[in-house]
Structures are given as structure tokens and as C-alpha cells.
A and B are shown apart, each in its own frame.
Chain A
Amino acid sequence: KQEVTQIPAALSVPEGENLVLNCSFTDSAIYNLQWFRQDPGKGLTSLLLIQSSQREQTSGRLNASLDKSSGRSTLYIAASQPGDSATYLCAVEKPNTGGFKTIFGAGTRLFVKA
């Protein structure tokens, strides 16, 4: 059974700091991994999508890496800003009977202090 774990559960950093959020998954047979941002009481905003054949993706100050064989992904946020405060979720898409299934982690709650 695929399990997705995110560490740390919560993180508080001063503005300007570079930080790394971690995601691990137990079954390396995945199609892709996606990082999302969720603001309190809101929906999910897709940040980065990494296909299983890729090693990393970058968008602005965000960089996500994927090591499928070890079941790990990291989201690197450079020069953090108060506006980055949110919950960050990773999700893996895996084969399932009849097609595929997406499994989410519990998220890392990030607070960036001004």
C-alpha cells in the first residue's frame, strides 16, 4: 500500500531563509509526483509536476527534485517570503486496478515571519 509522508509537519522560518520540505513514498512505482500549495480554507494550487522519468522541475523560487528509487522528493524554496506561508502538499500518482490513483501526504505547514 502506498504511503506518502511529509516532514516536517510544521515549519516556522524568518523571511529570506532558504528552506527544504521533504516528501517520501513507500512504493517507487509511481507515474508522477506533484507539489501543491493550500491556503487555509482554500483549494489546492499546483506548483510543480515531476514525471517519473524526470529528476527535477523549477518554477521561479521553487525547485522540486525526485529520486524515485529511494522514494523521496524535496521542495526547495529560495529566499522565503511571508506570502509563502501556506500548507505544502505532495501527491504521487500510482497504478491502481482500473487505472491510477493519487495519494496525498498530510502536508507541511509553513509560516514565514516578516
Chain B
Amino acid sequence: EPEVTQTPSHQVTQMGQEVILRCVPISNHLYFYWYRQILGQKVEFLVSFYNNEISEKSEIFDDQFSVERPDGSNFTLKIRSTKLEDSAMYFCASTKQGAHTGYTFGSGTRLTVV
């Protein structure tokens, strides 16, 4: 069964450093997403991406965040200057033709900012 692959599985970074979280969505999917889950809290939407541009973003997705599809397979989330409160699990997801076709989630990257 096709999978969404995320790397690394765990990243520890110093406050103020830049991090890039990587995702390889399912190859024939057209819509890509980032979600995050702070420990013990709900899964929260960050951003959706389609046709090489952001189609929707949440209030959380401020200027510190950016997304990119640098080639035909990778989808990245960059956090420019990490804060302690950015510590969370970050999930990448993809859908074939939009959320109504059902999400496939990756296994997540646990980001710890120290």
C-alpha cells in the first residue's frame, strides 16, 4: 500500500535555529498538507498546498513557516527560527483530489526545541 514518508522521525534543535521537515507524499496525489500535534493536544491544521502554491493556511502558519515542493517528489516544511512552543509532532498528509477523497498521513516527525 502506498505510504507518505516523513524524515527525520525525530529532530532536536536549539531555539532560534532553522529546521526543515521533509515529506514524500504518495506519487499520484495532488494535494499536500502539514498538521501538527502538540503533546496531549488536538491535531491542528497548518497548511495545504496544491499546484505549487499554498491553497489554505491557518493562523498558526505565520511568517516563521514556509512550505516548498522543491522537486517532483518532496514536500518540505521550514521553520525559520524555532521557538520552544514549536515542539510538537508534525504530520504530513496527501490526498488524491482534495480532502473529500480521504487523507493518507505520514508517521510524523517529532520536533523537540531546547
Could you say which residues of chain A place their CB within 8 Å of the CB of B56?
A: 96, 98-101
Bound: A33/B105 CA distance, A: 16
Which residues in window 67-103 of A have CB below 8 A to B? 89, 91, 93, 96, 98-103
Bound: A66/B44 CA distance, A: 22
Could you say which residues of chain A place their CB within 8 Å of the CB of B98?
A: 100
Could you say which residues of chain B place their CB within 8 Å of the CB of A98?
A: 55-56
Question: Chain B's interface: helix, strand, loop or mixed, by majority?
Answer: strand
**Docked-complex contact B107 and A32, CB < 8 angstroms:** no
A60 at the interface (CB under 8 A from B): no
Which residues in window 49-67 of B have CB below 8 A to A? 55-56, 58
Bound: A72/B110 CA distance, A: 32
**Docked-complex contact B100 and A31, CB < 8 angstroms:** yes
**Docked-complex contact A106 and B107, CB < 8 angstroms:** no
A104 at the interface (CB under 8 A from B): yes
A46 at the interface (CB under 8 A from B): yes
Among residues of A, the one whose C-beta sits closest to the C-beta of B4 is A43
Say whether, besides A32-B99, A32-B100, A100-B56, A46 and B105 are in contact (CB < 8 Å): yes
Most central of B43, B48, B102, B106 by chain A CB within 10 Å: B43
B25 at the interface (CB under 8 A from A): no
The listed residue (A34, A43, A103) touching B102 by CB distance below 8 A is: A34
B91 at the interface (CB under 8 A from A): yes
| Given pairs A34-B102, A93-B100, 12 additional interface contacts (CB within 8 A) | A31-B100, A43-B6, A43-B91, A43-B105, A44-B103, A44-B105, A46-B102, A51-B100, A100-B98, A101-B45, A102-B45, A104-B43
Could you say which residues of chain B place their CB within 8 Å of the CB of A99?
A: 48, 55-56
- Mind listing 28 A-B residue pairs with CB under 8 Å? A31-B100, A32-B99, A34-B102, A34-B103, A41-B89, A41-B110, A42-B107, A42-B108, A43-B106, A44-B91, A44-B93, A44-B105, A46-B103, A46-B104, A49-B102, A51-B100, A89-B43, A91-B43, A98-B55, A99-B48, A100-B56, A100-B98, A100-B99, A102-B103, A104-B42, A104-B43, A105-B42, A106-B41
**Docked-complex contact B99 and A102, CB < 8 angstroms:** yes
